[in-house]
């Protein structure tokens, strides 16, 4: 009778496992030994370098630093800056502030307006402008009733005026009527009447009469004087 004889494998497996364990333990020891060896070498190299290499020679110390530009001139620069800002603001204010209106006397206004027309040809429009300037002047200087006058109305207003006088009133009335004749019935063959020059002469005569008889200055002149003060 043949029996089924099975050999035990327990003892065969054990040596193999032992060998593997030994190999693992040996490898771990080798790794630990390598690490310790590297650390030892690094420590020795550091200590050796520290003891063998001397420190570099130190440079001599720097001298005392001089004061900067702003430390020396900071106050002066700030003062100059504030002064410049004040000057700029003052200049802008002077340029932008409204200018005081200059009120001219009626005589100055009339002369300036007539001088501006001196070099123009004596057309009907020019004669109308000259008549209007002269009427405005007499109304302002001799305090006639305000408003627009026709030539006839103005001649009647100045005819009996004491301050103007009969001689000056007659000269003004004659000049205004002649301007009307040239405006409404122009004669191209007639010589120019030098209307601007004659109107300036009448203004001069009126100013002389005002000074001669010590007539009070017009309201516009008084206002200009008080404004100037």
- Specify if 203 maps to a domain: yes
178 or 216, higher pLDDT: 178
pLDDT beyond 70 at 105: yes
The answer to the question of residue 129 being in a domain is yes
Note whether residue 4 is domain-resident.
no
* pLDDT band at residue 198 using 50, 70 and 90 as cut-offs: very high
Mean pLDDT of the chain: 75
Q: How many domains does the chain have?
A: 1
The answer to whether residue 53 is domain-embedded is: no
Question: Which residues form the domain of 165?
Answer: 106-228
CA 42 to CA 196: how far, in whole Å?
118
Q: Is residue 131 part of a domain?
A: yes
- Rounded (10°) CA dihedral 161, 164, 166, 167: -170
51 lies in some domain? no
| pLDDT classification of 132: cutoffs 50, 70, 90 | very high
Mean pLDDT (whole number) for 137-147: 84
| 215 in any annotated domain | yes
Provide the whole-model pTM. Answer: 0.53
Residue 150 DSSP SS3: coil
Provide mean pLDDT across the span 19-27: 55
Please check whether residue 173 is in contact with residue 158, taking contact to mean a CB–CB distance below 8 angstroms. yes
Distance CA 112, CA 99 (A): 21
């Amino acid at each position: 009778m043949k029996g089924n004889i099975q050999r035990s494998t327990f003892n065969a497996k054990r040596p193999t496992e032992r060998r593997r364990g030994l190999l693992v333990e040996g490898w771990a020891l080798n790794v630990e030994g390598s690490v310790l060896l590297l650390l030892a070498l690094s420590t020795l190299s550091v200590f050796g370098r520290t003891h063998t290499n001397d420190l570099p020679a130190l440079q001599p110390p720097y001298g005392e630093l001089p004061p900067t530009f702003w430390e020396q001139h900071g106050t002066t620069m700030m003062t100059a800056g504030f002064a410049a800002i004040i000057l700029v603001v003052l200049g802008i204010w002077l340029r932008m502030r409204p200018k005081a209106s200059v009120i001219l006397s009626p005589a100055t206004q009339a002369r300036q307006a007539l001088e501006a027309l001196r070099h123009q040809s004596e057309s009907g429009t020019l004669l109308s402008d000259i008549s209007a300037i002269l009427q405005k002047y007499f109304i302002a200087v001799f305090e006639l009733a305000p408003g627009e006058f026709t030539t006839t109305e103005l001649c009647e207003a100045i005819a009996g005026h004491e301050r103007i006088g009969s001689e000056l009133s007659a000269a003004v009335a004659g000049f205004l009527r002649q301007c009307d004749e040239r405006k409404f019935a122009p004669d191209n063959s007639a010589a120019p009447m030098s209307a601007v020059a004659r109107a300036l002469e009448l203004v001069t005569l009126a100013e002389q009469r005002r000074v001669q008889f010590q007539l009070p200055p017009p309201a516009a002149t008084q206002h200009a004087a008080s404004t100037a003060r």
